Amino acid sequence: MCTNIVYEWLKTLQLPQYAESFVDNGYDDLEVCKQIGDPDLDAIGVAVPHHRRRIHEAVRRLKEADETAAGLYFPLEPQP
């Protein structure tokens, strides 16, 4: 079994059974996972509706965390 950030993320969602399929389909990083949509879940093999909802909700939270963190960064060089 793969042990990486995606596995740990799926484990927190109580969906570690999909970890190998995620990695096999190129979803080996949370940045990539933020792009997951229904066609991706089909390709990965996530067919159970409440598992899909759980993943979609987790992806939404990942994106929100990015938006919140984006306010913490600022450019070091002056902007034109």
Global confidence as pTM: 0.78
Q: For domain 29-70, say whether CATH 1.10.150.50 is its number.
A: yes
Q: What is the pLDDT of residue 67?
A: 72
In this predicted model, what pLDDT tens digit does every residue of 45-73 receive, in sequence order?
999 999 999 999 999 999 888 776 655 55
Range 1-22 average pLDDT: 88
Mean pLDDT of 20-26: 94
Break the chain into its structural domains and give their ranges: 29-70
Tell me how far the alpha carbon of residue 67 is from its chain's centroid. Answer: 15
Q: Which helix (H) or strand (E) holds 5?
A: helix 5-12
For residue 58, which of 18, 3, 1, 2 has the smallest C-alpha distance?
18
In whole numbers, what is the pLDDT of the chain averaged over residues? 86
